[in-house]
Amino acid sequence: MTHVAPAERSTRSPAQVETITVSRYASLKGVAVTIVNLAVFFLLWELIARAGLINELFFPRASEMFAAMYNGFADGTILPEIWHSLSNFLIGLAISIVIGIPVGLLMGASRVADLILSPYVWAMASLPRVALIPLLILIMGFDNSMQLTIIVLSAVFPIMVNCMAGVKTVDPSLLRAGRVFGTSRVQTYSKIIFPFTLPFVISGVNQGIARGLVGMLIGELLGGGGSGLGFLLDRAGDQFDAPMLYAVLILLAVMSVGLIQSMRWLEQRAAPWRDTLRT
Amino acid sequence: MVHVGSHETDRPAKEHANTAGSTLIEVAEVNAGYDNQRERTRLIALRDISLKVTQGEFLAIVGPSGCGKTTLINMIAGFVKPLSGVVKVRGVPVDGPGADRAMVFQDYALLPWRTVERNVEFAIENRRGHVPKPERRARIANALQLVGLAGFEKSYPHELSGGMRQRVGIARALVGEPEILLMDEPFGAVDAMTREAMQAELEKIIAETRQTVVFITHSIDEAITLGDRIVVVSSRPGTIREIIDIDLPRPRFDERNDIKRSARFGEIRSHLWKLLSDEALGAKWGSVARQEGETA
Ligand SMILES: Nc1ncnc2c1ncn2[C@@H]1O[C@H](COP(=O)(O)OP(=O)(O)OP(=O)(O)O)[C@@H](O)[C@H]1O
Ligand SMILES: [Mg+2]
């Protein structure tokens, strides 16, 4: 019987790894497709509106929408409102993250904390956010803090619940490996539980963003604060200014997509080991 | 039937053991089981297990699937507490895992966010003063060389085949040179040729380091080629059916002399085969009734 040294058998050999060429235009292709796609969309929009099939009062031409958007930016009615909404939203999200992650981790790690907090967390996570508006107005009036509060209340619970789920689903055999190889309590958290939970945290923040945007709009539409994209939307509606209405909607869509896509990008950076799930 | 030695568990050390050793691991009258809170039942996984492992010994454990082998090795590792009885290492009752014992897990248990080399490093970075930092690189490279994974240091577990992942788990257990190696089907996912090469490698390492090994396997041949003794566990609930001395000379992996062709190997093999096929049939026909009897 002959033995082949294992080291020789399965060492990565030059023959196994080949260099491959990736087209330089591969990433541009996706961008090009999107541009063409959008161009066709707006063109169709323009044509359908021009055909006059739908009442112009609530279906303006794409060109009118763009004109309204351009004018809004030019005369300074849009930009401050975008800034107001975006900064409100980002502050609210930051507060939600700072509160949501530790509390979620605590609920996942401690049975007692979970037992005490979970009825409230689940109740708040499930309650439709709009229901809170009258109470918040009662407490805080039409102040900006009311708008911030609704964003935080919208975003914080999905973050919390996801963090908790992450900690609770840590693979028990990884915890065993930790014990065998001598992790201290702190190391168990820093080397096993946190890395395992990270993707959950990120998807929690993703949901938090989606819900937070809704919260932001509700606050601005119903809160009567007189600023923000929601306010622009409300005013355009009141004034039967359909082009402006559509322009704000498009801006909101761009903002949401931008936020969610940047989280996606972060998610892929933060958890490269989840590669297989993507491809 | 050929005679194959079958002995009491507390039999004195045998002359062919690596070191004529004192008892290192002692399992005394242990019962183990798992509680099912929902159904308010307790599954008895192991019943009345007594067993001693001497210093430097290679103990192989075989038995049908679900008979409690992993439970037994987990008790020695310190994850699972016996319902009654005691597990001692060097005379001290086991109370959780320790630096003297490393384990190869049946399900690999690799950290998916760490590369191969960082996974191996995990074994020597947590305990203070375990392995000094400058020494780690060389130790890791050596361990990966041993399991044939040189060149894959920067790969992530998900980029490896099942057998390769398993070998990362083996390198991780070896790198700290623990006194006791607990291996739960370490070569289960490895192909036959690599498996044999790794068995030879393991024998060589053990001869050098004189580590004590508890080794679970489903392969009769593997148990005979590697073990000083083989514990045959019968199932539902797991009890020790027989402990067999393997009095084959070492080294067992010898190019000129294939141990598997020897008459003695054949005798032990057919004896084990018979024991285990009895077990398999018994498990098939008797399991349902016995299982119901055991859960109370
Ligand atoms: N965590 C657990 N909770 C409940 N029951 C368990 C648990 N782990 C094992 N068991 C039960 O204990 C018995 C023994 O399991 P164990 O994993 O020790 O078997 P094994 O001999 O290692 O099997 P295999 O060869 O398939 O790995 C089985 O009947 C199994 O269902
Ligand atoms: Mg097992």
Ligand nearest to the CA of B49: 1
Dihedral angle over CA of A244, A250, A256, A259, nearest 10: -100
Give the side-chain half-sphere CA count within 13 A for A75. 6
Output the average pLDDT for chain A. 85
The DSSP bridge pattern shows strands B58-62 and B229-234 to be parallel
CB B199 within 8 A of CB B123: no
For every residue of A229-253, DSSP letters joined together read HHHHHHHHHHTT-HHHHHHHHHHHH
By three-state DSSP, how is residue B16 classified?
coil
Q: If you write DSSP's letter for every residue of A68-96 in order, what string do you get?
A: HHHHHHHTTSSHHHHHHHHHHHHHHHHHH
Atom 9 (ligand 1): residue with closest C-alpha?
B71
ipTM, two decimals, is 0.82
**d(C-alpha B162, C-alpha B167), whole Å:** 9
pLDDT in tens, chain B (296 residues): 444 544 444 434 333 344 456 888 999 998 988 988 888 888 888 999 999 999 999 999 999 888 899 999 999 999 999 999 999 999 899 998 988 999 999 999 999 999 999 999 999 998 877 677 888 899 999 899 888 888 899 999 998 888 889 999 999 999 988 999 999 999 888 888 888 888 988 898 888 888 999 999 999 999 999 999 999 998 878 889 899 999 888 888 877 777 778 888 888 889 988 888 877 766 555 444 444 444 43
**A contacts of B172 (beta carbons < 8 Å):** 181
The residue whose CB lies within 8 Å of the most ligand 1 atoms, and thus the one to mutate among B42, B43, B216, B220, is B43
For residue A192, give how far its alpha carbon lies from the nearest alpha carbon of chain B (Å). 8
Report pLDDT digits (tens) over A133-173.
Answer: 888 888 888 778 888 999 999 999 999 999 999 999 999 99
Q: Quote the ligand 1 centre to A188 CA distance (angstroms).
A: 25
| CA–CA dist A260, A267 (Å, integer) | 10
Q: Which of A216, A99, A92, A197 is nearest to A157 (CA)?
A: A99
Top CATH class, B54-82+92-100+180-282: alpha beta
From ligand 1's centre to the CA of B43, what distance in Å? 10
* B61: β partners: B216, B231
Ligand 1, CB within 6 Å, residue ranges: B 34, 43, 45, 63, 65-71, 106
For residues B194-219, one letter each, b for 16 or more C-beta atoms within 10 angstroms of the residue's C-beta and e for the rest, the string is bbbbbbbbbbebbeeeebbbbbbbeb
Q: Do A4 and B109 touch (CB under 8 A)?
A: no
Task: Check residue A112 and give its pLDDT.
Answer: 92
Tell me if A164 sits within 8 A of A107, measured CB to CB.
Answer: yes
Size of interface A-B (CB pairs under 8 A): 105
A240-251 per-position pLDDT tens digit = 888 999 999 999
Q: What distance in Å separates the CA atoms of residue A168 and residue A188, rounded to the nearest whole number?
A: 14
CA-based nearest residue to B86, from B155, B26, B127: B26
- For residues A275 and B190, the model is more confident at B190
First-residue to last-residue Cα distance in chain B = 39
- Strand-pairing partners, residue A131, are none
**Which of B62, B70, B107, B276 to probe ligand 1 with, by most ligand atoms within 8 A of CB?**
B70
Burial zone of A20 (CB within 10 Å; 0-12 exposed, 13-18 middle, 19+ buried): exposed
The band of A3, judged by pLDDT with boundaries at 50, 70 and 90, is very low
**A window 18-57, beta carbon within 8 A of B:** none
The stretch A65-80 carries a mean pLDDT of: 91
Q: Which of B206, B110, B202, B220 is nearest to B164 (CA)?
A: B110
Helix axes A194-222, A144-168, angle to 10 degrees: 160
Ligand 1 atom showing the smallest separation from residue B218 Cα: 25
% of residues, chain A, pLDDT over 90: 41
Chain A window 159-178: which residues touch B at a Cβ cutoff of 8 Å?
171, 173-174, 176-178
Q: Is the pLDDT of residue A239 over 70?
A: yes
Cα-to-chain-centroid distance, residue B75: 12
Pocket test for ligand 1, best of B46, B69, B105, B291 (most atoms within 8 A of CB): B69
Both tokens of B162, joined, read 């099942």
Residue B29 near residue B13, CB atoms below 8 Å = no
- The secondary structure of B83-140 as a DSSP string is SEEEEEETTEEP-S--TTEEEE-TT----TTS-HHHHHHHHHHSSTTSS-HHHHHHHH
- Tell me if B109 and A176 make a contact (CB, 8 A cut-off): yes
- When CB atoms are compared, the residue of A5, A179, A272 closest to B197 is A5
Q: Where in chain B is the domain with CATH 3.40.50.300?
A: 54-82+92-100+180-282
Nearest-by-Cβ selection for A275 from B148, B158, B196: B158
Q: Would you state the structure tokens that stand for residue B130, as one six-digit string?
A: 């375990």
> pTM for the full model?
0.78
Beta partners for B214?
A: B59, B182
* Phi, psi (degrees; rounded to nearest 5) at B95: -130, 70
A42 CB-near residues (< 8 Å, 6+ apart): A62
Q: Supply the pLDDT for residue B215.
A: 95
- CB of A199 within 8 Å of a chain B CB? The answer is no
CB contact under 8 A, A10 and B101: no
Q: Which two tokens stand for residue B40?
A: 């308010």
Q: Compute the distance between CA of residue B226 and CA of residue B207 in angstroms, rounded to an integer.
A: 11
**How near does any CA of chain B get to the CA of A270, in Å?**
10
Could you say which ligand is closest to the alpha carbon of residue B63? 1
Task: Kindly report the backbone phi and psi dihedral angles of residue A82, in degrees, each rounded to the nearest multiple of 5, phi listed first.
Answer: -60, -45
Q: Which CATH number fits the domain A61-277, given the four candidates 1.10.10.10, 3.40.50.9100, 3.30.379.10, 1.10.3720.10?
A: 1.10.3720.10
| Shortest alpha-carbon distance between residue A178 and chain B (Å) | 8
Closest by alpha carbon to A9, among B75, B14, B145?
A: B145
Closest CA to A90 of A258, A245, A250: A258
Cα nearest neighbour of B261 on chain A: A1
pLDDT at B161: 86
Which residue CA neighbors atom 29 of ligand 1 most closely? B66
Q: How far apart are CA A188 and CA A192, in angstroms?
A: 5
What's the rounded mean pLDDT across residues A253-266? 87
* Rg (chain B; Cα; Å): 19
